[in-house]
Chain A
Amino acid sequence: MIRIVSWVLSMAAFLVVLRISDEIHVFVDLPSALTSWVFPALLLLAVHSPGRVWRALGDLRAPAEAGIAAARFREDAEVFASFGILSLAAGMIGSLAGLITLLSNLANPRESGIYLSISMLTVLYALIVVIFVALPGWRLHSEAAKLAATFEDPVEEG
C-alpha cells in the first residue's frame, strides 16, 4: 500500500515539476507517445505473447508468499525489463530520426527549434516509461522471485 501511494505521489510530483518548469502543453505530443509507448508495447506483445504480458501485470498484486513459482516471477521481471529496453530504444530511434531531419533541413532555422524539442520528447517519454513503469515492475518481480525462491527451497537459500 505504501509503495502504491509513493508511486502515485512521485507521478504527481513529476507533473508539478513539469507545470513549474514550463507550460504543460509543451510536453504533450501524440507522435512521441506513439513512438515511445505504443510501439514498444506492441513489440512487447509480439515478442512475449499477450497472455504472458497480462499475467506479468496481474502478478504485480500477488504477494511473494502466494504460492507462485519463483521462475514465474523471474519471467514477469523479464517482461518489464524488456518493455523498458524496447521503449528506450524506440525513444532513441525517434530522437535520432528527428535530429537527422533537423540537420538535413538547416536552411530553415526557424523550424529547427520544433524538431529539436520533438526529438527530445521521444527520449523524455521513454524515460517516463522506464522510471514509472519498467523499473518498479522489474524490481517488484525480482524481489518477489527471490522471496518465492526462499519459500521453495529454504535450505539452499538460507
Chain B
Amino acid sequence: MRSTRVAILIAAGVVLLGALALLGMRYQAVIHWQSGLGFVLMGLLLAAAIPGMMPSLRALREGAMPSGEPVRMEQALRVLQTLDMLVLGLGVLLMSVGIVSMFSHLDQLGLIGPDVATALTAPLYALILSRLILYPLQLRLRGVLGWKGASVTDDLLYNLFLLVFPATGYMSVLVVIFMIVSKEDVR
C-alpha cells in the first residue's frame, strides 16, 4: 500500500513538472535566490519562534508516518496548521515587498520585470510548501483522527476566495503594467 502511494506521488510529480515544461516554463526563471533565501530564512526563524523547531520537525514526521497515538497526532495537526498559515502569510508578505519595490521603479520601466518576478516567486514557493506538502500531511493526520480538527485552510470555499480573488486582481494589475511596458517599447 505504501509503495503504491509513493509510486502515485512520483507519477504526480512527473506529471506536474512535465506539464509545466510543456507550458513553456523556464525552471531557471522560477529559481530566484533572493526571495528563496528570504522565504527559507524567515520561515525557519518564525517556525522556531511560534510552534518551536522540535515540535515542527516532530509534526512533519508524524504527518508523514502517523504513530497512531491520538494525543500526539492532534498536537502534530495543530502544529502543521500553524505552519501552514505561517507559510501562506509569509508568501503574501514577501509578495507585498515585491509589489512595493515594483511601484518604486515605475519611472524606470526596464526594472519592473525583475521586481514583479520577485513578487511572484514568493507566493509560488508558499503555495508549493503549503498546499502540496503541508496540506497533504494534514489530510493524512485528519484521516487517521476521523476527520476531526479542520482548520479554516481546509475549507474549499475559503481556498476559492483566498486564491482566486487576489490572484485575478493581481494578474489584472500585471496585464496593465505589461501593456504600459509594451507601449513604451513600441515608442
Contacts and interface: CB of A to CB of B under 8 A. Distances in A.
Interface stretch (A4-12, A18-26, A54-62, A98-106): A98-106
Contacts of A101: 23-26, 29-30
Given A34-B18, A35-B20, A100-B117, A43 B156 contact: no
Nearest to A104: B29
B5 A49 contact: yes
Nearest to A75: B147
A94 B120 contact: no
A141 to B, nearest CB: 12
Interface string A64-89: 00000001001100100110111011
Contact of B164 (A32, A93, A127): A127
A35 B142 contact: no
Interface in B26-49: 26, 29-30
A95 B135 contact: no
B147 A94 contact: no
A71 B22 CA distance: 41
- For chain A, the bracket of interface size reads 35 or more
Given A74-B147, A90-B16, A101-B25, A42 B11 contact: yes
A97 B164 contact: no
B71 interface: no
B103 interface: no
A81 B160 CA distance: 11
Contact of B135 (A31, A86, A99, A118): A86
Contacts of A120: 171
Interface string A30-56: 111011001100110111111000000
A88 B15 contact: no
Contacts of A43: 9, 12, 132, 136
B12 A94 contact: no
Contact of B12 (A46, A78, A88): A46
B128 interface: yes
Interface stretch (B52-60, B75-83, B175-183): B175-183
28 contacts: A30-B22, A31-B23, A34-B15, A34-B22, A46-B136, A48-B143, A50-B4, A75-B147, A78-B147, A81-B155, A82-B135, A85-B131, A88-B164, A89-B132, A93-B132, A96-B123, A97-B23, A97-B25, A97-B124, A104-B113, A105-B26, A106-B181, A115-B24, A118-B23, A118-B24, A122-B23, A123-B164, A130-B160
